[in-house]
Amino acid sequence: MSNMLDTARSFFTACETGKGWDGCKAYCTADASFSAESGPLLEVTTLAAYADWMKGMFTPFPDAHYQLKSFAADPERNNVSAFAVFCANNTGPGRPVPASGKKLKTDYVYVMQFKDDKIGHMTKIWNDGLALKQVGWA
């Protein structure tokens, strides 16, 4: 179990600090999938694409960081869950709209499903509608 937690923690840190797929792939299967019921992520189906999407978030949110609230393994179901708060100011170049200067503070959960000793699938649970309203994008 500690190996699963260590792998998940290393992936989480790399992903949430904008390292992209290059910084995350060592912790995942080559074909790792991704899912989220959030508008901006509906068409993102691979963990590689998601990791690169997160890397791209540092353009409109150059000071982005996270506050980790919970990190737990479920060895019976072979997954690790992370609950955190994404915090940032929209001060970077316009994407999808010009910088609003507004602050963002949004809760999210990752459920990282393991296949052997690597992440084979991740689900993100996130209310994108409220997040987008905070920065004036919706």
Whether 132 contacts 42, CB under 8 Å: no
Q: Is the pLDDT of residue 1 over 80?
A: no
Q: In angstroms, rounded to a whole number, what is the distance separating the alpha carbons of residues 106 and 88?
A: 9
Report the mean per-residue pLDDT for the chain: 94
Please compute the mean of the pLDDT values over residues 112-126 and round it to a whole number: 97
**Are 40 and 49 a contacting pair, CB within 8 Å?**
no
Q: How far apart are CA 76 and CA 133, in angstroms?
A: 38
Residue 103: CATH number of its domain: 3.10.450.50
DSSP 78-125: TEEEEEEEEEEE--SS-SSS-----EEEEEEEEEEEEETTEEEEEEEE
Could you list the residue range(s) of the whole structural domain that residue 40 is in?
2-134
Give the predicted TM-score (pTM) of the model. Answer: 0.94
Nearest by Cα to 124 from 36, 15, 13, 21: 36
What's residue 96's pLDDT?
63
**pLDDT at residue number 124:** 98
Chain-centroid distance of CA 83 in Å reads 10
The model's confidence at residue 136, banded by pLDDT at 50, 70 and 90, is confident
Query: How many domains does the structure of the chain reveal?
Result: 1
